[in-house]
Amino acid sequence: MRTEREANFSKDMWEMAKTMETRRSPHILTALILTQILLIFVSISNPVIAQSEEKVTITRVDYAAPPDTIAIGEDMPVLVTIQYHDLEGAKLRLGINDDFHNVHWNNDEAVTLSGSGSYTFAPLIITPRHEWDWPLYINQWRPYARILGNYQIASETFEVLVENPENAPHLNIKKIEYVRPPDTIAMGEATLIKVVAGYSHLEGGKIEATVRDATGIVASDCSPSISGEGSYTLSMTATPNRVGSWDLEVAIANVAGPLLGDKRSIRIRVVQ
């Protein structure tokens, strides 16, 4: 809406234009009219947008934030809180956009706010979809919350960690080679124990193997850094110090990344 000052300015410009019309070229009149239209347009558009944007700010976004994760296809509620100032019956709605996948979620009903204060919108449910590309086990997803009036007046980007179980890393014992009963070894005789570790979706890091008896760790081995999918054989030598059944626990684990591992029990017969 034009202010009284703008109206008076407009009136003065028209009077000046009429006076100059009788004295100068009609091109001057045309220039003055165009200048007047431009000034009015600027005064009634840009300042209003700037003032409205300053009246509403997003102060809090509550959701399953990192390091928590959600699974593909899992619904996640998002609560958004705003601070507002000097509103006069403004109708506002909460929306959440994912521009990369060209999807958006909006609250169906607008809330009318006046004056100043804070407001938390009803939870808005968003879902990472199965058809989108999730190449890693843990993927970053960056939608953004936005407050809508006649146009978008506030926005806030937030990060979600999405878990793709199809790309989950795995580590397991595929095979253990050792002297199996009824074969035996002598007390004090070193014996070779081989562990074949199978793995998939590893993203670097080493695999460590250990052999334990009742006294603690009696042998260990470690692989080089491994990625992707495959198998690796770890070799260890252990020596018994008593006669009888030698009960051992063979275990493998990754050294870095998410904790993975496997273990099995074996028995070796030791004779004098």
pLDDT in tens, 9-67: 444 444 544 444 444 445 544 544 444 544 444 333 333 333 344 699 999 999 999 99
Based on the fold, state whether residues 151 and 188 are members of the same structural domain.
no
Q: The domain that contains 189 carries what CATH number?
A: 2.60.40.150
Confidence of residue 213 (pLDDT cuts 50, 70, 90): very high
pLDDT at 150: 80
* Stated length of the chain: 272
Based on the fold, state whether residues 75 and 147 are members of the same structural domain.
yes
DSSP string for residues in the chain = ---HHHHHHHHHHHHHHHHHHTTS-HHHHHHHHHHHHHHHHHHHHHHHHHHHHHHEEEEEEESS-TT--EETT--EEEEEEEEEEEEEEEEEEEEEEETTTTEEEE-SS-EEEEEEEEEEPPPEEE---TTS---SSEEEE--EEEEESSSEEEEEE--EEEE-GGG--EEEEEEEE---TTSEEETT--EEEEEEEEEEEEES--EEEEEEETTEEEEEEE----EEEEEEEEEEEE---SSEEEEEEEEEEESSSS--EEEEEEEEEEE-
Mean pLDDT of 59-82: 97
**29 vs 73, which has greater pLDDT?**
73
CA 124 to chain centroid: 17
Based on the fold, state whether residues 40 and 61 are members of the same structural domain.
no
Based on the fold, state whether residues 160 and 214 are members of the same structural domain.
no
Based on the fold, state whether residues 157 and 175 are members of the same structural domain.
no
Based on the fold, state whether residues 12 and 100 are members of the same structural domain.
no
Confidence of residue 204 (pLDDT cuts 50, 70, 90): confident
Residues spanned by the domain of 11: 4-50
Mean pLDDT of the chain: 85
Based on the fold, state whether residues 90 and 156 are members of the same structural domain.
yes
Based on the fold, state whether residues 162 and 63 are members of the same structural domain.
yes
Among 131, 166, 201, residue at a domain's last position: 166
Based on the fold, state whether residues 144 and 187 are members of the same structural domain.
no
Pick the range with the lowest mean pLDDT from 13-17, 147-151, 156-160, 254-258.
Answer: 13-17
Closest CA to 216 of 251, 254, 175: 251
Based on the fold, state whether residues 68 and 23 are members of the same structural domain.
no
Q: The domain that contains 102 carries what CATH number?
A: 2.60.40.770
Based on the fold, state whether residues 82 and 140 are members of the same structural domain.
yes
pLDDT at 31: 46
pLDDT at 258: 78
| Number of domains making up the chain | 3
**162 vs 34, which has greater pLDDT?**
162
User: Quick check: 146 and 152 in contact, CB under 8 A?
Assistant: yes
Based on the fold, state whether residues 68 and 20 are members of the same structural domain.
no
Confidence of residue 256 (pLDDT cuts 50, 70, 90): confident
Confidence of residue 177 (pLDDT cuts 50, 70, 90): very high
Among 166, 195, 228, residue at a domain's last position: 166
pLDDT, tens digit (0-9, with 9 covering 90-100), for 122-154: 999 999 999 999 999 999 999 999 999 888 889
Among 142, 166, 190, residue at a domain's last position: 166
